[in-house]
Chains A and B, each alone.
Chain A
């Protein structure tokens, strides 16, 4: 890549340049009380429209995206998003509607939501689904609220502890903390499953339930999943499934059939909604029969049955013991639901199964090619992802160095240092979309980097050397939180 240094937009500024020229005012003007409302010290850049467009176009060309190259962060971050989703979500009937319109005028939108609820139920094996939650962690919070409401409705008020495996996503304990419950960490065993002995010891009548990601963040399907669920439910707890890794199970296993009571879907992961920098997500939640009455209100339902001649009338219905509304309006409709609906419709049942099978096959192919070069701590058939260790005997090369060096081979680095139970973790999730040539190029690069780690370790320590900017000082960036490009007048270091 050519190393053209692009100045910041403030450096490009020149006094008097402007994007638009306002016409002369044709109404009387008043003076604003400048002292209280206007901040004269804000040095806003002055540029013409074309300068701004070129600046950001140039910056965007420095970016690495899933549309530009292979990206082993996988569905857990964001997989490739088919472009047909962009066509459907821009159809005028979806685009130009407002959530406060009378239901008679948005029957198509409601029909889509109704079918989406049904499809997610069918895919997951659950009795009910809400589409409201705005993203995964919001879905977790919604799910745990329903678990608490269930216990409370039975007068079972002693339950305050949530069991969470040490391989869990950090959002699980965070969601539990939001509800004032306490977290009990359950260790993993040597095969990457939940440690059954530790689980059994933790199960008692103070347990709200367990939050389990299956397959977990090691990419391992829990071999004792039925025993785990039996233990938790045996002591009166409810079983929560974190659906972040649902990509590995589509069309193969339904969490509801396994006995899970509640699970959130990440439509923006499994069902291809583009997102970045924090959004937009979409986190519907599915529940078993015993939690269905607690679902957030409203759900989309059929208010008047149709027949051969007339379509049914869709509208909103409220579950009997609903925990209430979780979001203003009805979830992320156009951005999340229409795109995911398109994705499911385009694939159909057999296509969804293909997604899971190719995702698992691709991960196992990469694992097989890298086994022997990198240490794989939980070495068995993996699901959609696997975790290897980015360090070598007698070398000071770390996972971070390997990731940075991958950028010189034009690959995005994988997830680093997660899950926490693997030292120098490199988590690799290729997803179903990648062909064998891409997987081979990626494996070849990682094998070459392992050789370089021994012969020329400085290549790794100093990487990346081919990108716009080289190695960033992450420590300085995290310790000195100065986020503006000029120092405020009263700043003290």
Chain B
């Protein structure tokens, strides 16, 4: 499992980059979901989001999941290409698979990568 140390993580498996404001789903989340076949970003550029607001809806062959804002602030960018290529979330969740950017985002309850890795280990048997 991959969890870059420069990112922050939520219990609901989103990542947040405090430097760029980017947010998405973690490598653990994409591996649990397996092949992702549908992504819809639910917020628009310029919209204010609060921590925990649903920002995207993701469907895989196994399940569907809501993705929640890991930080509060104004949405400065939305990854519009994602809906055309949902498989990007599987292949590059921390790079091309970013979902939205939150300007000066104030993170909610987040963990560092070491704590997140431990949290994930506790969930796989």
Contacts and interface: CB of A to CB of B under 8 A. Distances in A.
B35 interface: yes
A306 to B, nearest CB: 53
B61 A375 contact: no
Interface stretch (A8-16, A79-87, A361-369, A415-423): A415-423
Interface string B56-86: 0001011100000000000000000000001
Contacts of B6: none
Interface residues of A, number: 12
B20 interface: no
A377 B123 CA distance: 12
B118 interface: no
Contact of A475 (B37, B63, B123, B125): B37
B116 interface: no
Interface in A417-431: 417-418, 420, 423
B35 A417 contact: no
Given A417-B63, A474-B61, A479 B87 contact: yes
Interface size class of B (residues with CB under 8 A): 10 to 19
A389 B59 CA distance: 21
A423 B125 contact: yes
Contacts of B35: 474-475, 478
Contacts of A420: 63
B86 A479 contact: yes
Contact of A375 (B37, B86, B125): B125
Contacts of A375: 125
Contacts of A423: 32, 123-125
Mostly, the A contact residues are: mixed
Nearest to A479: B37
Contacts of B62: 416-417
B35 to A, nearest CB: 4
Contacts of B86: 479
Interface string B98-125: 0000000000000000000000000111
A375 B59 CA distance: 26
A375 B125 CA distance: 9
A438 to B, nearest CB: 28
A475 B124 contact: no
25 contacts: A375-B125, A377-B125, A389-B125, A416-B62, A417-B62, A417-B63, A418-B63, A420-B63, A423-B32, A423-B123, A423-B124, A423-B125, A474-B35, A474-B61, A475-B35, A475-B37, A475-B61, A478-B35, A478-B37, A478-B38, A478-B59, A478-B61, A479-B37, A479-B86, A479-B87
Given A377-B125, A478-B61, A479-B86, 15 more contacts: A375-B125, A416-B62, A417-B62, A417-B63, A418-B63, A420-B63, A423-B32, A423-B123, A474-B35, A474-B61, A475-B61, A478-B35, A478-B37, A478-B38, A479-B37
Q: Which 3 A-B pairs have the closest CB atoms?
A: A478-B37, A417-B62, A475-B35
